[in-house]
Structure 1
Amino acid sequence: MSRHSAAAPDRASTLSFWLLIAFLAILWIAGGASRADVLGQSVVRFSAWSIIVVAILALPRVDWRAIKEPAIILGAAALLVALQLVPLPPAIWTELPGRAIFMEAAVLTGTEQPWRPLSISPSGTTNALASLIVPATVLLLAANLTRDQHWRIAIFVLGLVGAGAVLGVLQFSGANFDNPLINTVTGAVAGNFANRNHFALFLAIGCVLALAWAFRDDPALWKGGATFGLLAFFGLLILATGSRSGVLVGLAGIALAFFAFRAQATLVIKALRRKVAVVLGVSIFCATIAVVWLSFSFGRATSVDRATMLQDEVDPRLEIWPIVLNMAQHYFPVGTGFGSFDPVFRISEPDRLLIPQYFNLAHNDWLQIFLEGGVFGLALLTASLIWWVLRSIPAWYPARAQSKTRLLSRAASITLALALLASITDYPSRTPFIMGVIALAAVWLVKPQSTEAVSRKPMSATS
């Protein structure tokens, strides 16, 4: 038995562990895009359903209590989306806010008003509902894991961040990769993602997990040195992505992680001899300055270049946010239906924003939830935020707690905070891989004793 485990893994936890490892690897390969029409979505969802079938048939138990709270939130989200697909009679549907234009279109064409769902774009809402299979699969598999297995999963995710970073470095050097499973952008430094902002968030999460891994056991000099090297590597790569919001998210992640693990970091620093610490610090500083200088010299410091461009041009996202807010108020309180942004925005899009490119999403998930979910979407979002705060409090206090589970819970709290922060200017949680990481973080954030899978009373996998 591992010295990190409270109990040895049994058949259910072992099978769940390896299925989750396989699913995360599939998400890394095919789950880096949010568009509904990319091939990777089919691969991810087929894999998710296949794994669920295998889990139902092969797992002797599923400990639902370990994932009860995240499962309730996910179930409420699925129920809300499903209800938006229920057909409504014309007398009710035509009275909903913002539906007058469709009623007028039916009158002009001389067609009778049909029964319609609340969602203005049923196909988009159906896709939104189908996408929830990814976090559902992660929660199902994470339910049986022991504490040590959760740590191994966290380290595996860190390894996936490192593998994605290697791809990013190759892209930074000028190599192009055409991943047929995602809509890659030629010349972009986005690793295994279609969006550089999502890749930057992924790297920021890697910084948090790297520090958690470094301080899991008694401080070791080699782990401390490796971790600081990873932080510099991930941080410089975030700069190379060209993601302005990613730079802020990355700095926030590193700062919050150091604050969360400051006691352990202090021990590592004290363990270093003064001369070694000075040499290591100066080496990292010089390497950072050298890479930044080379980035500028070869025109690869894209995020800095794009930030300076804001002095001469307006970010298109800033132009559409007031429009989206007005739309949300127009369709309030029922919303337009999840996944309906594209066709709905075209109704209200002003002529001055008509360009060859189009806005497929609001690039602000907070506003988009308001628009698509209405009052019920806001209620679910508020409840989720309250849950995150209430669960983060025991993870952070008392501040001197040093347990391994507490470290992972703090890392999970920071991970969710970074996803919330990144959602202000983008839509990372709509990407399958980020969905899976968020689901894992939600499990890690629950009570420490919830990860002791073997000590609980078994429950039927089909109950």
Structure 2
Amino acid sequence: MISAHVDMLELRRSFAFALSDIGKLANRALHDRTAGRGVEEDVLAPYLTIAVAALHGRSRPNEDELARVYGSSLPDRTRRLLHHLERSDLIALRKDFAGVQPRGSKLQSSATAIRFARRSELAIRPRMSRHSAAAPDRASTLSFWSLIAFLSILWIAGGASRADVLGQSVVRFSAWSIIVVAILALPRVNWRAVKEPAIILGAAALLVALQLVPLPPAIWTELPGRTIFTEAAVLIGMEQPWRPLSISPSGTANALASLIVPAVVLLLAANLTREQHWRIAIFVLGLVGTGAVLGVLQFSGAHFDNPLINNVNGAVAGNFANRNHFALFLAIGCVLAPAWAFRDEAPLWKFGTAIGLILIFVLMILATGSRSGLLVALLGIAATSFAFRKRAAQRIKKISRKIAAPLALVTLSFLAGVIWLSVYLDRAASISRAATLESRADLRLEIWPVVVDMVWNYFPAGVGFGTFDPVFRIGEPDALLAPQYINLAHNDWIQIFLEGGVAGMIYLAATFVWFTLRSFRAWRSSGAETGSRVLGKTASIVLVLISVASLTDYPGRTPIMMALSALVAVWLANVFSRKELDRTSASGD
């Protein structure tokens, strides 16, 4: 018996085309599968039904027909469907201020008239005035271009974590300027789209701000690790003053001020449509590629002195001050490239381009000398391969076996050959450093036990965020004294425990629970592989990579990584499935 593999994704799309009656149209160019490309399979049939209505010159779809193809006659579910299609930038809704509805209509007049926003393959033009179309579009358009500009500024000036670099002033001035523009120009902010990440960021800001609240001497002097300050006041004969929990209030104030970066990202991302989120993802991939080009120039011997960050002469660090952070940036590119290629039924050239980009990024990571970056990149490639294995299999099936097998063999052989040649010519600094690790080659292994002891010395109150440098100098052993000072713990997880105490631990635990629940929603196998789920999986992987890199460094303290973390958190929080759409509240917008 001859059996054939059933492509469920193609079957669902074929069924949607059959339900929508789009094949009955006179325009035969609309009958192929390019119509509705990129539309989630769960809502493809209603989308095509609306397309048919628009092509017939109607300003609204037939409600009974829409209910039939969607599988529900409840008006609330239909209204939420329309709002979801509008947020995905597939259609646009306008209010019917005349209050006239068709006889027997169950939908409210505020969500009936439609136009198509971007599907050029359907050749449909807006049927409404420019005045009525501008109001819902201006917020998303302004937010989109503002976010593009802000990410560009971060790429140039946001690659360092030190508080005294000029780039911090540039980034924060830009952030506050964008907030002022948003207050004056944005007609609306859809906070519901970023509610969960905003709560997490707000909790972080509250935790840091509370460390700046002055405490009475009777409480402050009883906090662990404050004896040296209490005795200093006694020695000089000064009365014990009111002090905040933070040992270095200026450092904690700087930590609080740095949160303006993710706050701006959430503000702008709140208004973006699904399509605009994808364009932002592609733009970030472009920034990674531009950083790789800069890294190639540095690798070739060219010297770039960026006055906005603290460059290390001779280091291959791209637009970052730290090569480990640059390697993580490239590893994130290794995740975004296949996500872009497998977003929808994209042509095969995207698949090949993604593989080429991953190859370039991996080779650049080898050149940076970052061992942790190489590990994170391999983890990201493995996780992405698993996440998009089904879509990759569908692309490969379209290639003849006579071509696919030799092509795969040549690609793997080329990759292995380039890596071997890099090692042989001593150009793969990451592998060389991993193979020649000496006892004092990595100072992290010596400072971590000291930091762990400090955690318990100051537990449960902590020392205050942004205070590691002065606090470490208090307990630094003589054996670690050197011309270079240790500004951070090079393990953000331990440093958060030190600076935040038990409150920091609780915050991390709550954030981890949120991340786990949202990642489960994005990765679960039930339902169609919608565009939002692809973004959700990508976001989950990126956050894991940043978390793993934080075990040996502090990437989350650079403005550009803070912005990317906030952006992908929005993607993870807005994974869509049909069941969740049905459970959305009646307000739905």
- Range of TM-score over shorter length: over 0.9
Cα displacement string for residues 239-281 of structure 1 (whole angstroms, at most 9, x for unaligned residues) = 1111111111000000000101110011122222233323433
Instruction: Look up the SS of the partner of 2:309 in the other structure.
Output: coil
Alpha carbons of 1:432 and 1:2: their partners in 2 closer, same or farther (altered >3 Å)?
Answer: farther
- CA positional deviation for 1:293: 4.0
1:96 aligns to 2:223 (yes or no): yes
Partner residue in 1 for 2:296: 169
Cα displacement string for residues 82-119 of structure 1 (whole angstroms, at most 9, x for unaligned residues) = 11011112221111110000111112222222211110
Alpha carbons of 1:234 and 1:148: their partners in 2 closer, same or farther (altered >3 Å)?
Answer: same
Partner residue in 2 for 1:64: 191
Mapped to 2, the partners of 1:3 and 1:144 lie a distance apart of: 23
Alpha carbons of 1:94 and 1:243: their partners in 2 closer, same or farther (altered >3 Å)?
Answer: same
CA contact (8 A) 1:62 1:458 kept: no
Alpha carbons of 1:287 and 1:399: their partners in 2 closer, same or farther (altered >3 Å)?
Answer: farther
Mapped to 2, the partners of 1:391 and 1:152 lie a distance apart of: 22
Partner residue in 1 for 2:483: 356
Partner residue in 1 for 2:259: 132
* The one of 193, 197, 220 aligned to 2:324: 197
Cα displacement string for residues 350-381 of structure 1 (whole angstroms, at most 9, x for unaligned residues) = 11111111110000000000000000011111
Cα displacement string for residues 391-436 of structure 1 (whole angstroms, at most 9, x for unaligned residues) = 0111001266311111011000111111111111111100000100
Partner residue in 1 for 2:519: 392
Partner residue in 1 for 2:446: 319
CA contact (8 A) 1:124 1:339 kept: yes
- CA positional deviation for 1:297: 4.6
- CA positional deviation for 1:457: 6.6
Partner residue in 2 for 1:114: 241
Structure 2 unaligned regions, length at least 5: 1-34, 39-88, 92-116, 118-135
Partner residue in 1 for 2:305: 178
Alpha carbons of 1:3 and 1:14: their partners in 2 closer, same or farther (altered >3 Å)?
Answer: farther
Partner residue in 2 for 1:212: 339
CA contact (8 A) 1:365 1:424 kept: yes
- CA positional deviation for 1:235: 1.1
* The one of 411, 422, 440 aligned to 2:567: 440
Alpha carbons of 1:242 and 1:219: their partners in 2 closer, same or farther (altered >3 Å)?
Answer: same
1:151 aligns to 2:235 (yes or no): no
Alpha carbons of 1:50 and 1:457: their partners in 2 closer, same or farther (altered >3 Å)?
Answer: farther
CA contact (8 A) 2:157 2:168 kept: yes
Mapped to 1, the partners of 2:142 and 2:337 lie a distance apart of: 26
Partner residue in 1 for 2:396: 269
1:12 aligns to 2:139 (yes or no): yes
CA contact (8 A) 1:28 1:433 kept: yes
Mapped to 2, the partners of 1:2 and 1:42 lie a distance apart of: 45
Q: Which moved more, 1:266-275 or 1:159-168?
A: 266-275
Instruction: Look up the SS of the partner of 1:10 in the other structure.
Output: helix
Partner residue in 2 for 1:232: 359
Partner residue in 2 for 1:369: 496
Mapped to 1, the partners of 2:346 and 2:210 lie a distance apart of: 51
Count of residues paired in the alignment: 457
Partner residue in 1 for 2:8: none
Q: Which amino acid is 2:488 matched to?
A: L
Mapped to 2, the partners of 1:424 and 1:161 lie a distance apart of: 22
1:141 aligns to 2:249 (yes or no): no
Alpha carbons of 1:86 and 1:312: their partners in 2 closer, same or farther (altered >3 Å)?
Answer: closer
Partner residue in 2 for 1:408: 535
CA contact (8 A) 1:327 1:371 kept: yes
- CA positional deviation for 1:3: 6.1
Partner residue in 2 for 1:260: 387
Q: Which amino acid is 2:354 matched to?
A: T
Q: Which moved more, 1:105-114 or 1:421-430?
A: 105-114
Mapped to 1, the partners of 2:503 and 2:439 lie a distance apart of: 40
Alpha carbons of 1:458 and 1:44: their partners in 2 closer, same or farther (altered >3 Å)?
Answer: farther
Partner residue in 1 for 2:52: none
CA contact (8 A) 2:380 2:545 kept: yes
Alpha carbons of 1:179 and 1:457: their partners in 2 closer, same or farther (altered >3 Å)?
Answer: farther
CA contact (8 A) 1:219 1:264 kept: no
CA contact (8 A) 1:120 1:336 kept: yes
Mapped to 1, the partners of 2:321 and 2:147 lie a distance apart of: 23
Cα displacement string for residues 106-164 of structure 1 (whole angstroms, at most 9, x for unaligned residues) = 12222222211110011110110000000000000000111100110001001101000
CA contact (8 A) 2:521 2:575 kept: no
1:426 aligns to 2:553 (yes or no): yes
Bigger relative CO (Cα 8 Å, ≥ 6 apart): 1
- RMSD between superposed Cα atoms in Å: 2.1
Cα displacement string for residues 177-210 of structure 1 (whole angstroms, at most 9, x for unaligned residues) = 1111101111111111111111111111111111
